[in-house]
Amino acid sequence: MQEWDFKEMLWTVPKEHSKTKVAIFRPIPESILPFVTQLVEQNRHTGLLLGELKGQSSVAEYGRTAHRRINQAPWTLHDIRHTFTTMLNDLGVDPHIVEQLTAHQMPGMQRVYNHSRYLDAKRDALNLWVDRLELLQNNDEKIVVMTPRIYPQNS
């Protein structure tokens, strides 16, 4: 739970817990704060946000079978990552912000010289994502979800 700073509205994944061994900084969207604080209260006794520490295999297994529990075609947890990345790019979020949100390292010399956390841009992107999910969840018949127009590249 110490990774969650509700005063600064920041979730910090320490380098010891990240796949790339680099700390990850993600703003907490204001609209999900009630949900996250509820999880904190429910699981305070464990010290973990989601209640218990599980091995990688159990997380992977859960993801492999999740589609069955909700009667959907097969998909994986990594497909959610693909969707998140694609939709944020389609919504106009700068690609380097999307890459940072998915904890990818910057390429080449950018990694050496650029140490920005891009917190404001990440916060804006996550708020945009939450707004999009809420729009899709509400399924309001009066709202038409527009998709960006794709223009052919000049060769």
Q: What is the pLDDT of residues 1-52, one digit of tens each?
A: 789 999 999 999 999 988 888 899 999 999 999 999 999 888 888 888 776 6
- 144 domain residue, yes or no: no
- 33 domain residue, yes or no: yes
Per-residue model confidence (pLDDT) at position 155: 46
- 142 domain residue, yes or no: no
pTM of the model: 0.77
Determine the straight-line distance between the first and last CA of the chain, rounded to whole angstroms: 51
- 148 domain residue, yes or no: no
- Residue 32 sits in which domain range? 4-137
- 79 domain residue, yes or no: yes
- 41 domain residue, yes or no: yes
- 39 domain residue, yes or no: yes
